[in-house]
Structures are given as C-alpha cells and as structure tokens.
Amino acid sequence: MYPQKIVQKAQKIVPKTQHFIKRFRTALTGKRTIRLLIYLDKIPSIDQIAQFHQELGNQHLFLTASTKRDISFQSNNDYVYEPGKWSQIASFNHLRNALLYLSYIKADYVCISHSLEQFPIVGGSHLNSQIIYSVKAKSKYDRGLLLKGKVLRLLPVQESTRSVNITNLNFIDDPFLKTHSFLTPLNTLLDESPVRCTYRGKNTFPSFSKKKKLIFVFPIFLTVGGVERNTIEIIKQLKKQYDFVIINFEKLSKEQGSLHHQYEGNCEAIYDLHELFPQNDFPQILEELKSTYHPDAVWICNGCPWLARNAAKLRAIFKDIPIIDQEVYDTKEGWINEYNNPGIRAFDQFIAVTEKIKRTFIEKYKINRNQISLIYPAFSDEKHAAFKKAAFNKKDFLLKYKIPHATKYIAFIGRMADQKQPLTFLEFARSTRSDHDTHYIMVGDGPLGQQVDAMISQQKLTNVTRIPFLDNVFPVLDLSCGLIITSKYEGLPIVMLESLTMGIPVLSTDVGDIALLITRYHCGILYNPIMGISISKHINTFIENLPQLSANARKASPLIQKEFAAKTIAAQYAKLWDTLINNRNI
C-alpha cells in the first residue's frame, strides 16, 4: 500500500461527487501553453534542467519549499507537480502526453497510472510523482467544488508497479472525504464531448530540431502481437537513419498486454491519443503534432475503425507528405474489406506482407502495381544471435516456469484470441495426453486466456503448461521439437520464421503465405480443419515425421535467416521511404 500521507495528498486532488452524477462535459477550448511548477527536495543540476527544458519547453520552473522568489502565477495555465526527488519525476514521454492533454483541456488535475487497470485502480510506485494539479485546485476543493480531471493510463514504468484503489478511503482521516467515497474522473465521459479542439496560442512543446528524416508511425496500439513486434524490429534497425514518433488511436485492455517498453528509447515520442482525447478531436491533435515534428512520411502499420472512417481527413492533413499503408494481413478477413474506401485509396503506397495479398490488391481492387510493395515480416536476427551466443540453461528455465520434464515439447506461441484459435491447440494436446513423452507449452495471453485456463483445468490437461508472456520466445523454441499454428488467418507469422531459424518444423493451417515456406523447404505439414481428418491423426502424423521435418528445417535455417532478418527487411522499408519522400520533394 502507499503511505497514508501520499494517498491523503492524492485524495485532495481527485474529483469528488455523489453516486448518481451522470456526466460532465469538458470543452476542448483554445490551446494554451502550460507551465509546471515542479517542487523538489533540491534544485536539479544545470544539465538536468537544460535537458528538461529542451524536451518539454523552458517555461517550467523548478522550486523547493525553501526557495524564496516571487512567482507570477498564470492562473489557469499553471500546474503544480510535486515528485519530491529528481529520480521520481515521470518520464519525459509521460509528461509530454499529460501536457498535451492539459494544453487543450481545462482540467483541475491529471493522474498518470502505470497500469492497464481501469479507474479507480491506479498503478505506480510514487503516487505523488504521478499527479499534476492546477494552482486553483486546492481553492476549489476548500470551497467544496467538484474537481474535474482524468486518469491517463501511460506505459511503461521502469520500477515495480503497485496498484491502489484511490476511492478506498477507509484509512483517510478527513471526515468529509469519508462521506464522499464515490469519486469519478472524466475518463469515459470525455468521449461524449461535442466540442472540437480549435488551435490557438503558442506550442506547448519547443520546436523539434530535426537532424534526420522523421516518420510518423500509426501502429493503432502497442499490444503484444506480430504487427507490433515487426514494427519495433524495423524501427530498431533504422533509428540511426530516421526519427520515429509513435501515435496510437485505440485503447488497450489489460488482457492484450503492452509492448510500450520495447518502443521507449527507440523513438522520439509515443502519444497514446486514446487516453487523452475523444476520437472526434484526433484530427486537430494530429495537426498539432505535425506542426511540432514536421514528419517526412506516415507509416500506417495496422487498421482501426476510426482510421477507416477518417482516411480522407488523414490524407488532407498529410497532403504534402507520403502515406504508406500496411493495414492488410489477410485476403478475406479484416481491413482488406475497406480497400474500396476512397480515402484509403488516396494513400501513396500499399505494402503487401504476402504474395496472396499483393495478388488481391491487383486483381480484386485494381490497385496500380507501381503502388504496391511486397515486404515480408521480419524476425529479430539480433535476438536470435544473442540467444545462440548465450549459454541457455534448460533446467533453470523448466524450473522457473514449472514445466515438467518430457522427451518432446511442442509449442504454441501467440495471442489468446479467436484468430489464433488456442482452444484448437488444446485439442491437439488432449488427443495425445496418453503419450507421456510429449508435453505442450503455450505462450501468450489475451481475451481467451481465461477460457484456455478453464479448459486446461476442466479437461485435466496436465500435459499443458501456459506461460502468459515472454519477451523472448527463443528459449521455448530451443526446448521444442515442433511448433503448432492453428490460426484462422495470418500473413506470414513471425513466430514461424523464428521457429524455422531454430530448425524447428511447423504444423499449421494453410493460411497466408505459410505454405510458401513449408512447400519450398519441406519443413512442416499443412492441415485443413474442414477436411474431416481428426485432430489426433494430424498431430500423430506430425510427430511421426519429426525426424525428417527437423532435418529439413535445420537445413533451411540459414536461408530463412538471410531472407527474413530484420536488417534485410528494414533495408527494403528504407529504400521505399526514401524513394517516396524524394519523389514528393521534387
């Protein structure tokens, strides 16, 4: 739990209201320059202050309780921030998001939560370093007025994160707060606001000093998935040539997980617009970010309903720079069905991640061949090389994840989502549970996570171990003799590439371009779930043929590494971006 004094201070600036207040509307008025009054135990060094001002603007003041100076408060534009120690100040990226929000919303406070939990649960290590409040907040509170603000779920956090229910007042001494224990910020209510941002005033942030070409990246959200893994590998490879700014449009759930920690440090900024503003105001905010960073191109890595509805607006906002679209990962399911949308068709270039998608673009949607680039997903050759170089202790890994010893391990690595059909993998495991030499390992989490756990328990599948998340899957692949992919649809799964680079064969549904590699290298078996062949026959055939399939996969490994390494694929992106940017500048 947080210390009582810290929680008590937090309660002073969290909104209080009665149980049945239905909603509030906060108007997105003219933009304003926000100044932070930052109270610390001691004034930071000159270099620390200079870095802070360079990142977030030189209007912010650093103060101590004993500092003697006259401060001319700018009323609504001044906010107090009391982290106490320099080491406890929120990351520049989190403060960037908070300042962007406050520059448009006349809120009394913002509270940064380092968790995907919903309000009233707030995650963090130092609650006092997570709250920014208006200089007028205390006066309003003392007069019994409602304080309006928002909890911003911003990831990642470097330290261990604890969770606290900020409406739990059982240990608060203030009798007034005890009688008003239902606290409601404007988290979801802002989405109902009919008022759009109107640009006014000076920029909140200093002008970004471009030293390289800069790419706006729209991954939609940074969930744990193949699209996001591919995107970060390309960014890592190209960050010496380009600067990247990540802009997310969709809200993450706890079940989806987050890859923010992989992106932080590899890009100039990450903006989680879904945490800050209603979707109607995204175009205005994109205009603001464009004027701050002056991007050279936009790379759309995934689709979402908001983007489909607003594709024409995106084209208008970024009319002077190329938009590279990479939303499609299947020829029938998902965003491929939006490709008669005039807004999307006005984009400059379309990346097909499989040969099948390329053919669909040409034959069904009549997209000009010159506007299509076939670029396959990439695997992390750096992680692969590092794993091969390091000494992997299998015994320790088995103990850590409570995996029983077995002669053979077969893996499933992917999101627990309908697309991936994890329950089908459990059917494979159930059909062979009498085979005590084989154990199944599942890696991943998602919306179906609870159903997966329930089936494992109800069916008494003691031959299955589930690991919710691994940042590096090569240890599991090194243990395994086979990988099973049960997806309804795919492009070319990164985990398949990782498996083949380790010489591990694959049993998979015939989706995407999976067949392209399996038939080329004879390194796996394809199965069709609608052909009436039993699950047990598929898995038994796979296990019986493992010796030859494994030999073929090991032979194919160096060829797969050469063709799909991140550095190889990244060079294809760089060539495409440079061509499009240079053509626009002619």
* pLDDT tens, N- to C-terminus, the chain (586 residues): 444 444 444 444 333 322 222 222 333 445 678 899 999 999 999 999 999 999 999 889 998 866 645 555 656 678 989 888 999 999 999 999 999 999 888 888 888 988 888 877 788 877 778 888 888 876 776 776 767 778 899 988 756 677 877 665 333 333 333 333 333 333 333 232 333 333 334 456 667 888 999 999 999 988 888 899 999 999 999 999 999 999 999 988 887 888 888 899 999 999 999 999 999 999 999 999 999 999 999 999 999 999 999 999 999 999 999 999 999 999 988 899 999 999 999 999 999 999 999 999 999 999 999 999 999 999 999 999 999 999 899 999 999 999 999 999 999 999 999 999 999 999 999 999 888 899 999 999 999 999 999 999 999 999 999 999 998 999 999 999 999 999 999 999 999 999 999 999 999 999 999 999 999 999 999 998 876 578 889 999 999 999 999 999 999 999 999 999 999 999 999 999 999 999 987 6
Structure tokens at 235: 């960014």
Whether omega for the bond prior to residue 475 falls within 30 degrees of 0, making it cis, is no
pLDDT at 27: 39
Task: Give the residue from 378, 400, 434 where a domain finishes.
Answer: 378
Say what the alpha-carbon torsion angle 179, 181, 182, 183 is, to the nearest 10 degrees.
120
Do both 357 and 470 map to the same domain?
no
Q: Where is the domain boundary, 357, 378, 399? A: 378
In this structure, what token pair is assigned to residue 295? 């991007």
Whether residue 569 is contained in a domain is answered as no
**Number of domains comprising the chain:** 3
Q: Which residue has the tokens 């002056």?
A: 294
Same domain, 138 and 186: yes
Q: Which of 325, 346, 378 is a domain's end point?
A: 378
Sheet with 323-325, strands from edge to edge, namely: 269-272, 242-248, 213-220, 297-300, 323-325, 349-352, 372-374
Whether residues 179 and 271 fall in one domain:
no
Q: pTM of the entire structure? A: 0.86
Does 232 share its domain with 345? yes
Q: Are 104 and 77 in contact (CB under 8 A)?
A: no
How many other C-beta atoms are found inside a 10 Å radius of the C-beta of residue 563? Answer: 13
* Domain presence at residue 198: no
Helix axes 226-238, 494-501, angle to 10 degrees: 70
User: Could you give the CA distance from residue 421 to residue 424 in angstroms, rounded to a whole number?
Assistant: 6
Closest CA to 160 of 118, 207, 125, 188: 125
d(CA 527, CA 533): 9
| DSSP track, 80-144 | EEEEESGGGSPPHHHHHHHHHHHHHB--SEEEEESSSPPTTEEEES-GGGSEEEETTHHHHHHTT
Q: From CA 25, how far away is CA 193, in angstroms rounded?
A: 6
Q: How many helices (H) and strands (E) does the chain have?
A: 23, 21
> Per the domain annotation, does 207 fall within a domain?
no
In single-letter form, the type of residue at position 75 comes to S
- Specify the pLDDT at position 137: 76
Pairing assessment for the beta strands 149-153 and 213-220 based on DSSP bridges: unpaired
321 with 335, same domain: the answer is: yes
CA-CA-CA-CA torsion sign (560, 562, 567, 568): negative
pLDDT at 254: 81
Q: Is the preceding omega at residue 342 within 30 degrees of 0, hence cis?
A: no
Q: What is the C-alpha to C-alpha distance for residues 39 and 346, in angstroms, rounded to an integer?
A: 50
Residue 205 lies inside a defined structural domain of this protein: no
Q: Which amino acid is at 172?
A: I
Pick from 474, 468, 292, 446: nearest CA to 383: 474
Q: Is there a single domain that holds both residue 310 and residue 173? A: no
**496 domain residue, yes or no:** yes
CA distance 222 to 261: 10
Does 31 map to a domain? yes
Burial category of 171 from C-beta neighbours within 10 Å (exposed 0-12, middle 13-18, buried 19 and up): exposed
State residue 70's pLDDT score.
52
Please tell me whether residues 374 and 388 are part of one structural domain. no
At 511 the pLDDT is: 94
| 46-56 and 92-104 helices, crossing angle to 10° | 50
Same domain? 113 vs 225: no
Q: What's the burial of 407, exposed, middle or buried (CB within 10 Å: 0-12/13-18/19+)?
A: exposed
CA 102/CA 56 separation, integer angstroms: 13
How many Cβ atoms are within 10 Å of 136's Cβ, its own excluded? 16
| 508/365 same-domain check | no
Task: Clarify whether residues 318 and 262 are in a common domain.
Answer: yes
**Predicted local confidence at residue 29, as pLDDT:** 46
SS3 per residue for 242-285: EEEEEEECCCCCCCCCCCHHHHECCECEEEEHHHHCCHHHHHHH
Within 8 A by CB and 6+ apart from 447, the residues are 253, 255, 256, 416, 417, 418
Residue 299 to residue 253: CA distance in whole angstroms: 24
Q: How far is Cα 286 from Cα 296, in angstroms, rounded to an integer?
A: 14
Q: Please check whether residue 334 is in contact with residue 303, taking contact to mean a CB–CB distance below 8 angstroms.
A: yes
Are 22 and 168 found together in one domain? yes
Which structural domain range is residue 328 located in? 213-378
Asked whether residue 95 is domain-assigned, the answer is: yes
Domain membership of residue 582 (yes or no) is no
pLDDT at position 69: 53
d(CA 355, CA 198): 44
d(CA 300, CA 307): 10
What element of type H or E holds 489?
none
Here the CATH number for the domain that contains residue 242 is 3.40.50.2000
One domain for residues 336 and 289:
yes
